[in-house]
Amino acid sequence: MPKAFSLARSAFQATREVGGGIEQRPLMLCGQPEQISPLRDALVRGAEEGTTAVRSYALRRLQASDRDDLKKAGAVVYGGAVTTSLDDATRGDLEVVGRVYRPKLALLESLELPSPAVTAAGRVRGISPDDVLAYERGRYPHARAMRALAGRVDGSAPWLASQLPALRPYVVDDIIEAAARRNARLALLIFIPGADMPVLTAVQMKMVLRLAACHGQNVGKDRAVELLSVLGAGFGFRQIARSMLDFVPVAGWVIQAGVAYVGTKAMGKAAVEYFERGAVADVDHLRELADEARGDLPGVIARLREEGFGVVRDALRR
């Protein structure tokens, strides 16, 4: 089980990755103003004037020399328009972006979808189909673009979220979901009763520290441990897991993984409220969040049960 031990070791080291490990790379916007300006306006809404988190670098046709500056980005966002086929100028722009080895997102406006030009854009060297977000004229994808960016700027995500309130909810959701999925995988791989707790807690601590950074707060590890202890006691998910083992007709590892997933998500939501309001949520509200998480648990368990040991196989591959 070398993969399980590798995952466990990385989880124990999680708290060391926060603090000095947070990058401060800006989002760099390039391409055609008509397709880039709406996203820039949405990103800077509510941000301090003169923020350096978003930089409009080259609102024009790109040149090979632009790559050196674009390499400094947390993510490169390109905007362009296509018709029935991918024109040479747009292809040239995408080739420049494709040679920048940073996360990237290409926003392409099309008269209609699906479009052969969009398909061709996803085949440009260095650009994958997942890097292309196409939309029809008049239907600018503000929320989809924000969500896509949040999933592309892992190293700089907390800093960008602290600087850009409009992007923050998407980054926060991404951090919580990533931590919940990771803990579900870890719970699948650690079969010794109780041995999963330190590992899951390490992932949750990293999540809490990153969520604090998203809100511009520098939270020490002692404070993070205290917050996790309060929330953990309030939710009581270990007791839920033990009680379910007595009457739910599924394997224990399914319940363990499901509880790890919903418990981590619930703790993430409560932590966000803590950083937004400046105080731990009251007991009644913690119960509400716990009840909401319990309501999600049967669906998560059903999905895990349906997928069966394929879930374990996939977890071991990651």
Residue 179 predicted with pLDDT over 60: yes
Residue 197: pLDDT band with limits 50, 70, 90:
low
Q: What is the distance between the alpha carbons of residues 256 and 304, in angstroms, rounded to a whole number?
A: 11
Q: What is the distance between the alpha carbons of residues 237 and 87, in angstroms, rounded to a whole number?
A: 56
Residue 248 predicted with pLDDT over 90: no
For residue 312, what pLDDT is reported? 46
For residue 276, what pLDDT is reported? 86
Residue at 40: amino acid letter = R
- Select from 84, 92, 93 the least CA-distant residue to 35: 93
For a pLDDT cut of 90, what percent of the chain falls above it?
A: 49
Determine contact, residues 70/97, Cβ cutoff 8 Å. Answer: yes
Residue 298 predicted with pLDDT over 50: yes
For residue 286, what pLDDT is reported? 63
Residue 246: pLDDT band with limits 50, 70, 90:
very low
Lowest-confidence range among 16-25, 68-77, 203-212?
16-25
Average pLDDT, integer, range 214-243 = 67
Average pLDDT, integer, range 23-36 = 95
Instruction: Name which residue leads in pLDDT, 60 or 298.
Output: 60
Residue 162 predicted with pLDDT over 80: yes
Residue 1 predicted with pLDDT over 50: no
Give residue for tokens 């790109």. 62
Instruction: Name which residue leads in pLDDT, 17 or 103.
Output: 103
Give residue for tokens 């800093």. 159
pLDDT tens-digit series, residues 253-281: 677 778 888 888 888 888 888 888 766 55
Residue 136: pLDDT band with limits 50, 70, 90:
very high
Average pLDDT, integer, range 186-208 = 73
pLDDT tens-digit series, residues 41-55: 999 999 999 899 999
Average pLDDT, integer, range 233-248 = 50
For residue 93, what pLDDT is reported? 97
For residue 123, what pLDDT is reported? 97
Average pLDDT over the chain reads 81
Residue 87 predicted with pLDDT over 70: yes
φ, ψ of residue 99 in degrees (nearest 5): -90, 0
Given CA atoms 94, 96, 99, 103 in this order, what sign does their dihedral have? Answer: negative
Q: Are strands 27-31 and 54-58 parallel, antiparallel or unpaired?
A: parallel
Q: Where are the domains of the chain?
A: 2-20+158-317, 27-152
Give the largest CA-CA distance in the chain: 65
CATH code given to domain 27-152: 3.40.50.300
The sheet with strand 54-58 has its strands ordered as: 54-58, 27-31, 75-82, 104-110, 132-136
Determine contact, residues 185/167, Cβ cutoff 8 Å. Answer: no
Instruction: Name which residue leads in pLDDT, 10 or 122.
Output: 122
Determine contact, residues 30/58, Cβ cutoff 8 Å. Answer: yes
Helices (H), ranges, 191-282: 196-214, 221-235, 237-247, 252-277
Residue 295 predicted with pLDDT over 90: no
Lowest-confidence range among 89-103, 131-145, 163-177, 226-240?
226-240
For residue 8, what pLDDT is reported? 43
Average pLDDT, integer, range 153-181 = 94
